[in-house]
Structure 1
Amino acid sequence: MKPDDPLLKILACPLDKGPLILLEPGDALYNPRLRRRYPIVDGIPQLLPSSGESVPDPEHRRLLGNAPADTGRSGP
């Protein structure tokens, strides 16, 4: 998945229904509000609640530091 993929505009976290951030190199989607990372397998986002993994504080800070500035969506 690439940052300009139109699918990113409609994908949402299955838990809080908010926007997700595409992590570089495009192998996961991230919800910084809940600190949950969802994998992308063979180009398909795995957005079941059970597919997400919790991210600890140091990893959360690292991910936000590496996240693209413009996700293409406005968030809460």
Structure 2
Amino acid sequence: MSYHFSMEIEKGYEFNEQKKYKGGLKYYMLPWLNNNVGILETTIKNSETPEPLDWMKKSAKEYINLRIENGESLNDLEYK
């Protein structure tokens, strides 16, 4: 109910638009986090984000490179 109410007010809508790359308000308000974009997917796809996530993307790249060094392909990485 709070998710639907939040989408009806201006600040909720603005926040949803700002965080849309992650899944918007659903990412933050729905506990099951279905189909939300994580930092690994954002990094692998080299997606643009509206806020600076350089420190997080750097860590994700290091993690991805370690997995690749251990013989995994990008298709093997789970990012959901």
| TM-score band, normalised by shorter chain | under 0.3
**Could you tell me the TM-score, scaled by structure 1's length?**
0.22
Larger relative contact order (Cα-Cα within 8 Å, sequence gap ≥ 6): 1
**Could you tell me the TM-score, scaled by structure 2's length?**
0.22
Q: Which has the higher strand share?
A: 1
